[in-house]
Amino acid sequence: MSTPDRLRIAVFGAGSIGCHLGGLLAAVADVTLIGRPAAMAAIDRHGLTLTGPVGTHRPTGGPALATDPAAAAGADFVLVTVKSTDTVAAARELAGHLDAASVVVSFQNGLHNPRLLRAELPGHRVLAGMVPYNVVRTGPAAFHQGSGGRVMLEDAPQAAALATAAGAAGLRLELRSDMPAVQAAKLLMNLNNAINALSDLPLREQLGQRPYRACLARCQREALAAFRAGGIRPAQLGPVPATRTPYLLRLPDALFRRLAAASLRIDAQARSSMWEDLQRGRPTEVDSLQGEVVALAERHGLTAPANARLAALVRAAEQAGPGAARRWSGPELLAELTRED
């Protein structure tokens, strides 16, 4: 039962990221996870287990579980963690259940989800958020955070209570006044998701190989050109400015390991969410990542052939189904992205 001094938080679209955030926040808030029936039944049966850099965490006494958007009624904050392709549908499902004072937070990939939520939820404050690390499901109700970083949230008066709760739960959170730039920088990072998915390798191993990094560098260069044409300036989220990252990625392996040691502080289990989607036969977010770069480039008279080809390869892997898609080596994938049709 909710108590007056505890926030009420609903997580809508409780997959890997949603269960991770909700599971941690359940220590200090009344959290309800709203997700697919099979996923919620697995958590009910096995209990939620979170693992990662800070060890193993098993929330006791919650969070509550639900499958109906009506469970968001009465929430102070509604964290939206559905895939970008489901944002509009999610907003429409929630619209009739949110309290007037409910604050909606988009913790999603892509550039446009906060805007889409605002358009569908007029009268509600919608904040942009960003989760920098990957979380994958490692068991029926087990979720593993494979890398580090600070969760970022739009700096607004309505964000203060959630930021305080996050700090009390041990969740590293930073308030930012430049969330569009942060989201652009995250998109650049997420362009590796498709490469990792097609490699079928752990992230640390994949990023340790120069040909795969050369694929990512090509994708990022195309994205940066489209950003410049669109007047978008990505934030610097690490020690290297976003504009310099493609050069760093193309360095020989030994030099890259020395200069980018922090980038490789990823545990052996870490893989991209797109890899997990392909393994489980789910639609990916490639159209909101590589597809976003291609669309932005086209709007400004540019092309993004590496991103377009990667998007096509991921769609082919989706069609092939779990276990049937081709596993691409670094040299093979780089040759595919650089070949002339």
Residue 226 belongs to what domain range? 182-338
Same domain, 170 and 191: no
Per-residue pLDDT reduced to its tens digit, 149-192: 899 999 999 999 999 999 999 999 999 999 999 999 999 999 99
Same domain, 99 and 196: no
- pLDDT, residue 148, reads 83
Average pLDDT across the chain, whole number: 93
Same domain, 47 and 127: yes
Question: Is 2 within the bounds of a domain?
Answer: no
- pLDDT, residue 309, reads 98
* CA count, 13 A, side-chain hemisphere, 252: 2
Last residue of a domain, one of 124, 146, 177: 177
Domain CATH code at residue 88: 3.40.50.720
Q: Rounded to whole angstroms, how far apart are CA atoms 276 and 289? A: 16
- pLDDT, residue 264, reads 65
pTM given for the model: 0.92
Same domain, 167 and 215: no
Same domain, 165 and 228: no
Question: Is 29 within the bounds of a domain?
Answer: yes
- pLDDT, residue 262, reads 66
Write out the two tokens for 204: 């640390």
Q: Is the model's pLDDT at 134 over the cut of 90?
A: no
Tell me the one-letter amino acid at 82. V
**Structural domains in the chain (count):** 2
Same domain, 325 and 225: yes
Same domain, 101 and 164: yes
Q: What is the band of 65 on the pLDDT scale with cuts at 50, 70, 90? A: very high
Domain CATH code at residue 196: 1.10.1040.10
Same domain, 252 and 294: yes
Question: Is 3 within the bounds of a domain?
Answer: no
Question: Is 134 within the bounds of a domain?
Answer: yes
Question: Is 156 within the bounds of a domain?
Answer: yes
- Considering only CA atoms, which of 85, 82, 71, 88 is closest in space to residue 34? 71
Same domain, 249 and 263: yes
Same domain, 249 and 225: yes
Q: Rounded to whole angstroms, how far apart are CA atoms 249 and 203? A: 14
Question: Is 253 within the bounds of a domain?
Answer: yes
Same domain, 285 and 137: no
Q: Is the model's pLDDT at 51 over the cut of 50?
A: yes
Q: Is the model's pLDDT at 230 over the cut of 70?
A: yes
DSSP states of 18-44: HHHHHHHHTTTSEEEEE--HHHHHHHH
Last residue of a domain, one of 113, 145, 177: 177
Question: Is 1 within the bounds of a domain?
Answer: no
Cα-Cα-Cα-Cα dihedral sign, residues 78, 149, 247, 211: negative
Question: Is 291 within the bounds of a domain?
Answer: yes
Last residue of a domain, one of 154, 177, 200: 177
Same domain, 165 and 23: yes
